[in-house]
Structure 1
Amino acid sequence: MSVLLLQLAGPLQSWGAASRFARRSTENAPTKSGLVGLLAAAQGRARSDDVSDLAALRFGVRVDQPGVRLRDFQTAHHGDTGEAMPVSERFYLADAVFLAAFEGDGALLEELHRALLAPVYLPYLGRRSCPPARPIPLGTAEQGLESALSGHEWLAGEWFKRKRRSEPEVELGVWLDAGKGRTADHEQRDVPLSFDQAHRRYAMRGVEYTTVTVPNPRAVSRPSGFVHNPMDALGDV
């Protein structure tokens, strides 16, 4: 089995799975529909094109840097009458970093990787106002989904790694498509059946939560018995 690895980092991200009307929420991690849409756009597929081959890939995402939730307001007016439309709420994740992976046929994943290197439509992180800050494709590998998400290096920003320098290893949350015969922790409506703007449709997906432990390359070891005294920096008074 092969996997395609994706790096998702940017000033803002927004991954809605249950947004309705004037309230546009975001999940705490990228959705399968959002990433399938990103891959389809990179290939140049139209919204009315079939995406069942992409939706059938097994999906997982690791939270390397959770970010901070932000709320924004948006106003708009009807173009013909000038009448004000209802104020809408938009939610985002700021300074978040994720490692996402798709597991499936190696030939298809290689094709998707090439498309991401030269996308037909520019990728964005959930909304067009959320451009990526780093290259998205990390390549393909011959391994399973779980091992890919547990074995890859920590992708958090350097400042975030230093913030946790007292931890030689860090525990990261992972969301996976629930495997056959396994109980899902919750269900989420984010499997795309159609992106057609006239009739968008999504199916439910069982999601399983777990954690993995990865090394922190910025960890600082302290001598045994070390006691920190902030007054030492002042010297003798």
Structure 2
Amino acid sequence: MSTLLLRLAAPLQAWGTDSKFEVRRTNREPSKSGVIGLLAAALGLRRDADLSELSALRFGVRVDRNGEVIKDFHMAKAEKTSYLTYRYYLSDAIFLVGLESEDRSFLEKIESALRNPCFPLFLGRRSCPPTLPLVLGIREDVLEIALREEENQNKDSKSIQQSHRYIRLDCGVAEQEGAVVQDLPISFNPMKREFGYRRAKEIWLRDDVNTEESAEEHDAMAEL
């Protein structure tokens, strides 16, 4: 197995999976459908293209900096009326995304496309271009090990202590744990968007803080 690792970071990101019309929400970490959309744009696929090969990639994300959810609103005007739309974003978040496949050559094709994209790339919405580096390379490990062993992409010591790091990844074929989410892209055709279901599990990581120092700092009886 090989795993392609991506670093998703930007001033703003938006990863909605279940919102439409006036209120556009965001998840707290990248969605598989959003990342597959990013790959499709890099490869130059049209919206009615077959996504089965991309959707078959095993997907996982590690949260290195949680970011903050913020709300913006837009005034939309038609000929005779106007209305407000509310849009939520993740501000200042950093994620490590992994895409696992038995076909290394396919991952190499995706990696090359991400370095030289056909269409502009964005993190969930067009107003959210990614910062560099985006591509970290291919690792000769299964998805979970690659996500566990890659160095923390958050380099700020203060926010490292404040971040709650965890991994969310697709369950294996035989695994029955995890939650079922409607986040498997089948078609991005604007006339008939279609999303299937996938099962994903969550793995919490230990804090990058010295536990002995942390215990001493928060010892309520230290002054007695």
- Pair in the same fold by TM > 0.5: yes
- Matched-pair contact (CA < 8 Å) for 1:17–1:188: no
Task: Supply the distance in 1 between the matched residues of 2:85 and 2:182 (Cα, whole angstroms).
Answer: 22
**SS state at 1:86 partner:** strand
Task: Supply the distance in 1 between the matched residues of 2:19 and 2:182 (Cα, whole angstroms).
Answer: 11
Superposed, which structure 2 residues align to 1:160-179 within 5 Å?
A: 161-164=157-160, 172-179=165-172
- Matched-pair contact (CA < 8 Å) for 2:16–2:27: yes
Q: What residue identity is the alignment partner of 1:151?
A: E
How far does the alpha carbon of each residue in 1:104-138 deviate from its partner, in whole angstroms, 9 at most, with x for none? 02110000000011111121110000111222111
Task: Supply the distance in 2 between the matched residues of 1:24 and 1:226 (Cα, whole angstroms).
Answer: 41
| 1:88 aligned residue | 85
Q: Give the unaligned 5+ runs of structure 2.
A: 219-224
Task: Supply the distance in 1 between the matched residues of 2:3 and 2:208 (Cα, whole angstroms).
Answer: 22
Superposed, which structure 2 residues align to 1:197-236 within 5 Å?
A: 197-213=190-206
Work out whether 1:183 is the aligned partner of 2:176.
yes
- Matched-pair contact (CA < 8 Å) for 1:15–1:126: yes
- Matched-pair contact (CA < 8 Å) for 1:2–1:144: yes
| 2:222 aligned residue | none
Structure 1 position 226, deviation (Å): 9.2
Superposed, which structure 2 residues align to 1:17-166 within 5 Å?
A: 17-78=17-78, 81=79, 83-104=80-101, 105-158=103-156, 161-164=157-160
Task: Supply the distance in 1 between the matched residues of 2:12 and 2:148 (Cα, whole angstroms).
Answer: 25
Structure 1 position 77, deviation (Å): 1.2
How many residues are treated as equivalent by the alignment?
A: 217
TM-score, reference length from structure 1? 0.84
Task: Supply the distance in 1 between the matched residues of 2:160 and 2:55 (Cα, whole angstroms).
Answer: 36
Task: Supply the distance in 2 between the matched residues of 1:89 and 1:215 (Cα, whole angstroms).
Answer: 35
| 1:232 aligned residue | none
The change in CA–CA distance for 1:208 and 1:162 in structure 2 (over 3 A counts) is same
**SS state at 2:83 partner:** coil
Q: Give the unaligned 5+ runs of structure 1.
A: 228-237
- Matched-pair contact (CA < 8 Å) for 1:154–1:215: no
Structure 1 position 213, deviation (Å): 4.1
Task: Supply the distance in 1 between the matched residues of 2:68 and 2:139 (Cα, whole angstroms).
Answer: 31
The change in CA–CA distance for 1:164 and 1:33 in structure 2 (over 3 A counts) is closer
Task: Supply the distance in 1 between the matched residues of 2:217 and 2:98 (Cα, whole angstroms).
Answer: 41
Q: What residue identity is the alignment partner of 2:120?
A: L
Q: What residue identity is the alignment partner of 1:97?
A: I
Q: Which has the larger radius of gyration?
A: 1
> Identity percentage over the alignment?
39
Task: Supply the distance in 1 between the matched residues of 2:168 and 2:206 (Cα, whole angstroms).
Answer: 14
